[in-house]
Structure 1
Amino acid sequence: MLALTVVTAAIGISGCTVIVPTGEHYGSEGITISRGEHGREGGQGNGERKEGAGASEGEESGTTLTLTEEYDTVRKGARLILVYDAESNAFTGTVENTTSSTLQQVRVEVHLSNGVELGPTTPVDLAPGQTVDVSLPATDQAFDGWTPHAEVGPGSGGEAGEHGPGGEEGGEGGGEHSSGG
């Protein structure tokens, strides 16, 4: 873990971070999170892309994206590709099963920089190779960053359930993590 931290810090200085996942089925290629030159210089911030396998075993990736970045990550066999569409004020994309087994109860959430949680989407079972569309309408409250993640299986990774009893029916506008302010 110390070596990973040192590599991340050294590469992070140059504007690029490489995360080398351990454990489950992440594939053999390296996973990269790319930030570009601070995201907005020279007007070339559009279309930036974030890739990663999630920096922790928890459900959230911990990576906050700008509104122009694309999220493309495989976690627990689910590949989530998501972008923010300002015109429709929604997060749209796909989630795909990259494994040879059915992934059960796959759902997607987005946490906004203003504290609002969008989702989760309705849980679906994904057959091997199956891809489904994802759309989460955003809030009318201003935000400038977002943290997406896909969840697989019942509950939240064996933890004490991020949503608690009935919490997954919280709707799209505000989750239990928001302070209501």
Structure 2
Amino acid sequence: MEVFDCSGPGPVPHSGEGAEASGESGGEHGSGGEGSAEGGAEGSEAGGEEGSGSMLALDETFDTVRGGARLIMSYDASTNAFTGTVENTTNSVLTRVRIEVHLSNGVELGPTTPVDMAPGEVRTVNLPATAEPFTGWVPHAEVGSSEAGGEHGSNGSGNEAGGEHGSGGDGNEAGGEHGSGGERRGGV
């Protein structure tokens, strides 16, 4: 089992302000919401875990397949971290797999550094939580470049989709809560 690299800036305040995009489409949930076929692989499996607003209790375990990635996570109070595994359940490579956890206190953990996963590959996930108290959480795995808009913008060039995490491409007119252009989390 390989360890999933969770390097990044750590917990990021997620107030929801500034989620509106300056481009043609976008916003945190875009026109199609979280399940708007990021990378074309999500369809009905997306289920809108994040968009549903149904927070998990701290003692609950999350186990869902989304875009071919099975994410199993739980909160470990002794280490104040979210731990688990992500598995490629498909017969093809999943590109740019990354994990996020949204906390009830408005903090977003992740996304983790995007990785490509071979068929059947399993990686461990460990996302340290914030010291600020929280009572619920909503995790999700994301797969692909999300060029269709969605929550995390895109990495293409000339695309005018926006998203919560902006974009990293040239000539992109997208906005996003976490900015656009420049360096993205995880050194991407």
Into which bin does the TM-score normalised by the smaller protein fall? Answer: 0.5 to 0.7
Given the alignment of the two structures, is residue 154 of structure 1 paired with residue 154 of structure 2, yes or no? no
The Cα offsets for residues 27-84 of structure 1, whole Å up to 9 and x where unpaired, read as xxxxxxxxxxxxxxxxxxxxxxxxxx4423x865643100000000000100000000
C-alpha contact 1:156 1:162 (8 A) present in aligned 2: no
C-alpha contact 1:59 1:156 (8 A) present in aligned 2: no
Q: Secondary structure at the match of 2:56?
A: coil
| Paired residue type of 2:47 | A
2 CA distance for matches of 1:122 and 1:61? 25
Given the alignment of the two structures, is residue 95 of structure 1 paired with residue 86 of structure 2, yes or no? yes
Equivalent residue number for residue 71 of structure 2: 80
C-alpha contact 2:50 2:138 (8 A) present in aligned 1: no
C-alpha contact 1:60 1:147 (8 A) present in aligned 2: no
Equivalent residue number for residue 55 of structure 1: 47
2 CA distance for matches of 1:60 and 1:106? 19
Given the alignment of the two structures, is residue 165 of structure 1 paired with residue 167 of structure 2, yes or no? yes
Superposition deviation, residue 157 in structure 1: 5.5
C-alpha contact 2:41 2:143 (8 A) present in aligned 1: no
Task: Say which of 104, 117, 120 aligns to 1:126.
Answer: 117
More strand by share: 1
Bigger shift: 131-140 or 159-168? 159-168
Unaligned runs of 5+ in 2: 1-36, 151-161, 169-177, 179-183
2 CA distance for matches of 1:61 and 1:133? 26
Unaligned runs of 5+ in 1: 1-22, 27-52, 171-181
Given the alignment of the two structures, is residue 69 of structure 1 paired with residue 60 of structure 2, yes or no? yes
Q: Secondary structure at the match of 1:135?
A: strand
C-alpha contact 1:54 1:73 (8 A) present in aligned 2: no
2 CA distance for matches of 1:129 and 1:62? 30
Superposition deviation, residue 169 in structure 1: 1.5
| Paired residue type of 1:82 | M
The Cα offsets for residues 113-137 of structure 1, whole Å up to 9 and x where unpaired, read as 0000000111110000001010100
Q: TM-score if structure 2 supplies the norm length?
A: 0.58
The Cα offsets for residues 70-116 of structure 1, whole Å up to 9 and x where unpaired, read as 00000010000000000000000000000011000000000000000
Alignment coverage as a number of residue pairs: 123
| Paired residue type of 2:114 | P
Q: TM-score if structure 1 supplies the norm length?
A: 0.60
Superposition deviation, residue 156 in structure 1: 6.8
2 CA distance for matches of 1:61 and 1:146? 12
1 CA distance for matches of 2:148 and 2:137? 21
2 CA distance for matches of 1:59 and 1:125? 23
C-alpha contact 1:110 1:119 (8 A) present in aligned 2: yes
C-alpha contact 2:100 2:110 (8 A) present in aligned 1: yes
C-alpha contact 2:60 2:74 (8 A) present in aligned 1: yes
* Structure with the larger RCO, 1 or 2 (CA within 8 Å, 6+ apart): 2
